[in-house]
Structure 1
Amino acid sequence: MRKIAILTFLTLDGVMQGPSSPEEDSSGGFARGGWAVNYWEDVMAQVMGEAMAEPYDLLLGRKTYEIFASHWPNVGDNPVANILNNANKFVVTSALDQLEWKNTIPLTGNVVSEVTRLKEQEGPLLQIHGSWQLIQTLLAHGLVDEFRLWTFPVMVGGGKRLFSQDALPTGLKLVKTKATSSGVIMSIYRREQV
């Protein structure tokens, strides 16, 4: 059985929206995108060693897929690009005609049923990057097994928060934590098995 892990960047006040640039996700009038840029060098080295070193497939929402697919295939020879470009990408979508990034498989229909089916299969870890709306659905149905969080020492006020009021209450176990020299805290939590 496969596990699902969320890999996300958060502000200290819990916002995961738009870490890379102001244009990344301005939905809801969010104007503070790009809050993680000054920390990338430290953080990406840690992400590569802690979260992207072992084989995994991606599970993405449609908007995150579009952002990634417009960027990573065009980066050239880069360790992160190579991993993402070669990974299988399962994309929750109703539009099947524009999934051109290699190794992309659409998931259509009932999201919870499709993701549950994926989890029941053999295969590597399913990592979710970005994909706020998909994460909210999975949290509301208890389908997330692990949280790989990088918390940045910035606050942005409003924006899309990782945990909404619909997330199911659950116990988590801290399995690893480490700080970068710039103050970003990596925390990896696993769902407590009941």
Structure 2
Amino acid sequence: MPLIFITGGVRSGKSHFAEKAAVTHYQTEFMQAQRLIYIASGVALDHEMEKRIVRHQADRRAQNIEWLTIEAPYDIANTLYNLSDGDVVLWDCVTTWLTNAFYEGFDRGTPCIEQPGCLQEKIKGLKKAVKTLLEKRVTFFIVSNELFDEPPYASEEVELYRQMLGKLHQWFVSIADEAYEINYGVVKKWK
């Protein structure tokens, strides 16, 4: 399975690049590709996020190709296990999923970040599911945000988030066939 990792700053063009690459791969492999899947991790908790989700949906519709959208704001591992040979998959995005993982359970009184071992289990489950995909004939595009150009934050929680995200990025790149960074619409291929 080819795994393609794509990162960049907010509004850098990374999602557009990833969508175009996934569609091109799907169309190139049309005889073998089964489904073109978009795994969305965003949850419209505020007006800004709602606008971003609507914009991404409109971008996909404008491509005149049928995407199967799977909403997976929390249980990404189970979603990945249910992919099939021949699928071309775009997951957008790791940073949103990790934020969701941090605060899942907040509505019930105790977010994951406050539960011992909860975040580690979620990341362990994600990695196991991705490793399982490596054994399938699935092309997997992963999008994430680059948050490491700023100095450390005073908030321990924000720093923990950045450290966990950084480790996830390193892990994804270590197993990726290709890795890209997008800044200001400029694509840099690192691997």
Which TM-score applies when normalising by structure 2?
0.44
Q: Which has the higher helix share?
A: 2
Q: Which has the higher strand share?
A: 1
Higher RCO (Cα < 8 Å, 6 or more apart) = 2
